Amino acid sequence: MYNSKIVGLGSYVPDNVVTNEDLSKIMDTNDEWIQERTGIKERRWVKEHSGDTTTTMGVKAAKVAIERAGIDKDDIDFIVFATLSPDMYFPGPGVQVQHQLGLKTVGALDVRNQCSGFIYGLSVADQFIKTGMYKTVLVIGSELHSRGLDKTTRGRAVSVIFGDGAGAAVLTRTEDTAKGVLSTHLHSEGEHAEELVVKAPGMATRWVTDILKDNDVNDESYFPYMNGQFVFKNAVVRFSEVIMEGLLKNNLKKEDIDMLIPHQANLRISQFVQKKFGLNDGQVFNNIQRYGNTTAASIPIALTEAWEQGKIKEGDTVVLAAFGSGFTWGSAIIKW
């Protein structure tokens, strides 16, 4: 049996920086209110006519990851693309990446697990490689939130949080079972699905023809809804559980963590988990202050930046953890 290891990382964020002060000009909010509740100072939002989409941002991140991996793009055997904001209702962006990268007819899988999407995608890639089905897999997390947010005072509690961007990782086979992705751990709890949700467009209660006929400009089901306090309370519990699950699986202790990269949902959640595990600031990487919550893209963007800054070194034990809509949550334990 093989292990999978990350051999290339890349990220891309739009040039357009949107500060908290910028948001205060279009909704009733302010920098102090946003930072106190989320830790966010600014985020990136795609500009109209820039050409950036969920797919194209993913492709840009992928090209960087492929170059850094030192492989030819035709070495990629499979694509996993995680997002909640695809360019089209269907088909998903995985096949668009295959086309835009000019790859041969490799398989492409789309993952819809929101904030946990990259962890789920990494787990799929890891299993494909460990079983010998594929040798090299491209995993992408990309989101374009800004076009689907309610940018009025009505939607401020959610809209100030989210940003656009993409991250990518190239995983390949290694016969060193002590290195690479040691284990991944995935969970869900669908009874809380409506605590963090976008209900429309959906086929559960309305036909597309009815939606078009009604065309109600006050229909809030198209915008994200989040029960913030409920999500926070569940997140801090599930983060801790799934990190410990991964450590115990690999006979590791809290003290063995060299770098924890949590999903960038809220700086307060990250700080809570950091304190619970007794980690110092150098052992936890956060960049939500600059990018906001980029959902499936947040972990690969943060992982890329941590590696670029030399904060992840060979032999380090790296822990990735995420929690989000679904509810879904997961972790990955990696020996770098």
Q: Which of 8-12, 70-74, 208-212 has the lowest mean pLDDT?
A: 208-212
Percentage, residues of the chain above pLDDT 90: 84
Q: Cβ atoms within 10 A of the Cβ of 235, count?
A: 26
pLDDT in tens, 81-112: 999 999 998 999 999 999 999 999 999 999 99
Domain 3-177: homologous superfamily in CATH: Thiolase/Chalcone synthase (3.40.47.10)
Q: What is the mean pLDDT of residues 267-274?
A: 95
Residues 6 or more apart in contact with residue 87 via CB below 8 angstroms: 53, 54, 55, 93, 96
* ∠ Cα 264 267 272 (to 5°): 110
**Does the pLDDT value for residue 221 go beyond 90?**
no
Q: What is the pLDDT of residue 83?
A: 98
Residues 6 or more apart in contact with residue 86 via CB below 8 angstroms: 54, 55, 92, 93, 110
Check if the beta carbon of residue 298 is closer than 8 Å to that of residue 113. Answer: no
**Does the pLDDT value for residue 124 go beyond 70?**
yes
Q: What is the pLDDT of residue 130?
A: 97
Q: Give span(s): CATH 3.40.47.10, the chain.
A: 3-177, 181-197+222-285+294-335
pLDDT in tens, 13-51: 999 999 999 999 999 999 999 999 999 999 999 999 999
pLDDT in tens, 179-220: 999 999 999 999 998 887 877 676 666 666 666 676 766 666
* ∠ Cα 39 43 48 (to 5°): 160
**Does the pLDDT value for residue 320 go beyond 70?**
yes
* ∠ Cα 105 121 253 (to 5°): 145
Q: What is the pLDDT of residue 97?
A: 98
Q: What is the mean pLDDT of residues 138-164?
A: 94
Check if the beta carbon of residue 18 is closer than 8 Å to that of residue 45. Answer: yes
Domain 181-197+222-285+294-335: homologous superfamily in CATH: Thiolase/Chalcone synthase (3.40.47.10)
Q: What is the pLDDT of residue 1?
A: 77
The long-range contacts involving 244-248, CB below 8 angstroms and separated by at least 24 positions, are: 245/185, 245/331, 246/183, 246/184, 246/185, 246/319, 246/321, 246/331, 246/332, 246/333, 247/319, 247/333
Q: What is the distance, to the nearest Å, from the Cα of residue 75 to the centroid of all Cα atoms in its chain? A: 25
Check if the beta carbon of residue 77 is closer than 8 Å to that of residue 19. Answer: no
Q: What is the pLDDT of residue 232?
A: 83
Alpha-carbon gap, residue 211 to 144, rounded angstroms: 23
Residue with tokens 């006929």: 213
* ∠ Cα 111 114 120 (to 5°): 50
Q: What is the pLDDT of residue 206?
A: 63
DSSP code of 278?
T
Residues carrying an active site annotation: 115, 263, 293
Identify how many contiguous H helices and E strands the chain contains and give both numbers: 11, 13
Average pLDDT, the chain: 93
**Does the pLDDT value for residue 228 go beyond 80?**
no
Q: What is the pLDDT of residue 220?
A: 67
Percentage, residues of the chain above pLDDT 70: 93
pLDDT in tens, 231-262: 889 888 999 999 999 999 999 999 999 999 99
Q: What is the dihedral of CA 25, 31, 33, 37, to 10 degrees?
A: 120
